[in-house]
Chain A
Amino acid sequence: MNPEILRAWAVSRICLGVDAGGREIRVVRAVRRGPWRVWAPMELSSAVQAAGAARGAPAVAAGLSPRECLARWVEVPLADRGKARRVLPSLLDVDLPFPLETCEWGVAAMERATPITCRGLALAARREDITRRIDDLKAAGFDPDILDSEALALWTQARQECGPATAWRMVAQAGDDRLTCVVGHGTAWVAAYTTLQPQSGALVNWLKSVLPVPNEAVEWIWCGSGLRGQGGTGACRPDLEARFPGPSREVDRPEYFLARAYAFRALAPDALPCNLRSGVLTAVRHQRRHERRRLQLWLALGVVALLWVVLNLVWRHEINGVNDALQHRITSEAGVLAGRPLTREKGMEVRMAERAVQARGPAYLPFERALAPPILGSLSTLLQLAGAQSIQIEELNLEGKVVTLTGSGPDWETCEKFAQRLVEAGYRNHIERRDAAPAGRVGFLLKPEGGG
């Protein structure tokens, strides 16, 4: 059996919650807007019309009473939750008063109980009970997408509206003709009981058996249409509260509590999810919705992948385009510089252009030399400085700004001064003393800086 849990929140934003457990059917319309969910009661005739619409019909969620749907914690002697979930059906089969093969079942929660064990909240309902409930609902004009557990719905909705329990919590749904009581502690659901005769004492006995310590403080939350009027199932309330004293409160619009619990649970992936209309009993419309939704998801994924591929290809094409444009510029510019087309020398364009320009370089050297600063300025500066310092020139070589001079002066100080003046005039020379000199004079050699 496939314990598939198909919920409405993934496929619909609107859900009709149908409470058909009593003499009167109560329907609410709940809408999910982002993280918020709002609800409003609905006339039965309008609800039937909306639920039967050919297009855009909202999801319909109803429930099975604790009498039809068994919910219990099953201890699994395995530490791994995945393995425990796989083993749980065998243990549940032993626990059930009817064969598991005749049931639809599911696991609403699986948690670690001790370091070596897990416990799972198993739900099971006989197919004949589910079918009967579906037929009843169909007769009323509803083909439910979701068949929830009343026991879990009461507990989670009470937690949603009243916050987590601070002590033992009794959620009592006083229906038109039966009373359902759900017990839990903190955030944990413990057990549920339903009875047609709440005054009989069986309920009290059950509650005593569930509570671990007698007279323990409890918290009562009351809901259901039976709270109003005389002689309803809510008549047992004073007696129960006297036997199990503790703070007591009524929820807002108690007659629609269960209906909105079904709708809200269907619209949000809350804790303890449950849909017992699964497997072969799954509503065709619901199945189709899921298939369409799955297809849409795949399609969306495909579109994203396609966009990604296209983006990648466009990006590559753009890069190649820029690359080609740059290559074209390089080829044409290098061709102009080299003086010939370079279409065959791909990758060598710059080198070819360099070679061509280097080869042409010597042809322009005479122009460079012709436009270099005239030697006249250097020559007149040198001769003037030499005359002013009484320097006798023996030999002078001048090429541009490079000067080599052999000569003599009246004394070494004058020679050095002459060299200093040359440096100030922009010549990079250094002076060396020379032995050979005319009598009474000091010889020197002026060499270019760094020269031999």
Chain B
Amino acid sequence: MNNFPLQKLMLTVVGLLLLTAGVLTVLMPASLADGQRRLERKRQDLDRLAEIRRIVNEQTALQAVFDRLEASQPAPLDTILHAAVPGLRFDLSDLGQGSAADGWRWERTSLILKTISDRDLIRLVGALELQRPPWKVVALNIRGGPQTGQVSQVSLTVETLIRTKP
């Protein structure tokens, strides 16, 4: 009889443990599903961040190509034009500029050429695009002459990148 209070205490403790175990067991499916849902959401977030990271890496890689160039800007347009097609008549007009990624800006220029042959036009475009950084022809408009193979006017929109920081 002496150990009755001890037994009672033990039974109470065991009962409480069983009750707790029971409650945890009842709650387990719901919390398991909730835990899995949370982990799944986190994994999806990480996948999406990896996708964003891939885009950022691509952007950084693009810039790195230009960062490695020695020249901070291409040769002036008129110099290239005269060198490619001596005696060429042209009109240049500035279309604007803006900032690009860190340490760079872009500059766009309109170029109107008159009386140029197909061959000269190809040579000229080649000379512009071979610059490093290139004068990229982003748009080209040709108006033909009355005869086959004749060109009366060519409009070019060219864009280049200029490094602003050493």
Residues on A facing B (Cβ under 8 Å): 295, 298-299, 301-302, 305-306, 308-309, 312, 316, 319, 322-323, 326-327, 329-330, 333-334, 337, 349-350, 353-354, 357, 360-361, 363-372, 374-376, 379-380, 383, 386-387, 390-400, 407, 438
Contacts and interface: CB of A to CB of B under 8 A. Distances in A.
Interface residues on chain B, size class? 35 or more
Nearest to A304: B21
Given A350-B48, A375-B125, A394 B104 contact: no
B79 interface: no
20 contacts: A298-B10, A306-B17, A312-B28, A322-B39, A323-B35, A330-B42, A349-B49, A350-B48, A366-B100, A367-B161, A374-B125, A374-B129, A374-B137, A375-B129, A379-B121, A380-B122, A392-B144, A393-B142, A399-B140, A400-B138
B31 A375 contact: no
B118 A326 contact: no
B82 interface: no
A421 B24 CA distance: 73
B147 interface: yes
B126 to A, nearest CB: 5
Contacts of B20: 305, 309
B42 A327 contact: yes
Contacts of B147: 392
- Chain A, interface SS category: helix
A263 to B, nearest CB: 31
B141 A395 contact: yes
Given A326-B46, A368-B62, 9 more contacts: A302-B14, A319-B39, A322-B39, A334-B49, A360-B101, A363-B99, A363-B100, A379-B122, A380-B122
A375 B149 CA distance: 19
B161 to A, nearest CB: 6
B144 A305 contact: no
A363 B143 CA distance: 33
Contacts of B134: 370, 374
B21 A308 contact: yes
Nearest to B38: A323
